[in-house]
Amino acid sequence: MKTAEEEFIRQAKLDWGDEEGVNIETIKDALEACYMNGDYDEVGGDAEAPTGHYYQIEHWIVKCDDQGNRTVETYENEIQAEEAFELLERDFSVWLGEQEGV
């Protein structure tokens, strides 16, 4: 039985693997292909912020820093990913000076 990660990679290869220059081998590659094609649940932040630029796809959050480095965080389910995304949004708002730190 395939894991959710393996299935996600397989589907991303089917959807975008034939595009020029797109090599999808890892979950990071698959998530990046989704993001570049406008397929994501939430997006926020800024590469210059301490939180970085980030986006959520299903139960994964990808964080991107100002150097172009990307990290993938995997959560047990989408609810946990949404909660983590909300915390990133809060921290980003504090950095922007939109709200007081908690």
Task: Identify whether residues 46 and 93 lie together within a single domain.
Answer: yes
Confidence of residue 99 (pLDDT cuts 50, 70, 90): low
Which residue has better confidence, 99 or 67? 67
Whether residue 34 is found in the same domain as residue 46: no
Domain of residue 25: give its range: 1-39
pTM beyond 0.85: the answer is: yes
> According to the model, what pLDDT value does residue 54 have?
97
Residues 27 and 51 in one domain: no
pLDDT of residue 85: 97
CA–CA dist 35, 101 (Å, integer): 30
pLDDT tens per residue, range 2-58:
789 999 999 999 998 877 677 899 999 999 999 998 999 999 999 889 889 999 999
Q: Domain count for the chain, please give it.
A: 2
The dihedrals phi and psi of 23, each to the nearest 5 degrees, come to -120, 110
On whether both 45 and 22 belong to a single domain, the answer is no
Is the CB of residue 53 less than 8 Å from the CB of residue 42?
no
Q: Are residues 6 and 34 in the same domain?
A: yes
